[in-house]
Amino acid sequence: MALVVGLVPIAFGRLHESVQYRDTVRQVLTDLRVARQQAQSQGVETRFTVDLQARSFGIEGGPQHTVPEPLTLRAVMAAEEGTQGGRLAVRFLPRGGASGGSVDLIRPSGTGVRLRVDWFSGRVEQEAIEP
């Protein structure tokens, strides 16, 4: 019984971190795809922003989402797409292209995912990051 009581908090902690990671990846991926779709369907440029200091992301003008503390957030985007306040952005164009860039979400173990936006097509691709 003592062994079970000792292992439950460890298992719960790992489960909680795993759920936070999956939810955050899903939300970033969803926001990137919605920004692309919005640009194409409405015929206006749409920006997906990342604020590394505030650990947040989202579609410009919409709700911003926070990255949970155990995860590391990194982003690489075109220098000319920086916004006021030091945020980085990917600009999606009405004809399907984008300014390009990537968002990395990394777990405490060092594994993670890179969500990459292709500059030519605006498509969002996902690739694993290994430690």
What's the CA dihedral at 13, 24, 119, 83 to 10 degrees?
Answer: -110
Topology of domain 2-129, per CATH? Answer: minor pseudopilin epsh fold (3.55.40)
d(CA 114, CA 93): 21
Sheet containing strand 124-129, strands side by side? 72-77, 101-106, 112-117, 124-129
Going from N- to C-terminal start, the domains of the chain cover: 2-129
Look at residue 114 in the predicted model and tell me its pLDDT: 97
d(CA 11, CA 58): 31
Alpha helices in 43-115, H assignment, sequence order:
none
Look at residue 1 in the predicted model and tell me its pLDDT: 59
How open is the CA angle 107-24-121, to the nearest 5 degrees?
105
* pLDDT per residue of the chain (131 residues) written in tens, 0 to 9: 555 555 555 555 566 688 899 999 999 999 999 999 999 999 999 999 999 999 999 999 999 999 999 899 999 998 777 766 678 999 999 999 999 999 999 999 999 999 999 999 999 999 999 98
Look at residue 104 in the predicted model and tell me its pLDDT: 97
d(CA 114, CA 9): 30
d(CA 100, CA 75): 11
DSSP 8-state assignment for residue 82 = -
In this prediction the pTM is 0.86
Beta bridge partners of 50: 57, 88
Look at residue 19 in the predicted model and tell me its pLDDT: 87
